[in-house]
Amino acid sequence: MSTIKAAVFASGTGSNFQAIMEKNNLHCEVVLLVCDKPCAGAVEKAEKFGVPTLLFEPKSFASKAEYEAMLVERLTEAGVTWIFLAGYMRIAGPTLLEAFETKIINIHPSLLPDFPGKDAIGQAFEAGVAVTGVTVHYIDEGIDTGPIIAQEPVDVFPGDTEETLKKRIQTVEHHLYPEVINQLMRK
């Protein structure tokens, strides 16, 4: 059986990328990290794991369709069939969505459909909810929309700060995302 090849897309510190890479017996091979920001911590982590990085600057392209066409070409060359968004803070357009239909998943730090978009943890904290959580979902053309695959709740405690809440949410992310990936890769 040939190994499924995947790419992780990240714009941030890359802790979810790291969790995927450190999963024992991951049922696919991460062959590329795609990053839209040169300073993202994820790039350093990719070096550590020996994963090639595709770094691109969206502003240097005339349009989203243009940079996504470049991404599709590079991903196809690398044999990638699945994409895991891990803190990639851009909305996918039709070029990427059509090329990888039903093969792009995302992790988001809230119980969607609550608190989509940026700073979901801050949004939940400000709203004063007693429970928030983590969602893994297929993506579509919306902001953190698309069919939900798995969710895990996280309690908000009375003494929580945004930082303590974030830490607990990220701990859940780091076990949930690699587990969901393995379930999907087994199918």
Residues of this chain that interact with ligand GAR (CB under 6 A) are: 10, 12-16, 86-87, 107-109, 120, 144, 170, 173
Contact 32, 80 (CB under 8 A): yes
Rounded distance between C-alpha atoms, residue 68 and residue 160, angstroms:
40
Angstrom distance (rounded) from CA 106 to CA 147: 10
Catalytic residue of the set 27, 108, 174, 175: 108
Length of the chain (residues): 187
Nearer to ligand GAR, 43 or 71 (CB): 43
Nearer to ligand GAR, 15 or 182 (CB): 15
108 is catalytic: yes
Residue, CB closest to ligand GAR: 87
Residue 169 CB, nearest distance to ligand GAR (Å)?
A: 7
- Residue closer to ligand GAR by CB (options 4, 19) is 19
Least Å distance, CB 124 to ligand GAR, is 12
DSSP output for 71-95: HHHHHHHTT--EEEESS--S---HH
Amino acid at 51: V
Residues with catalytic annotation? 108
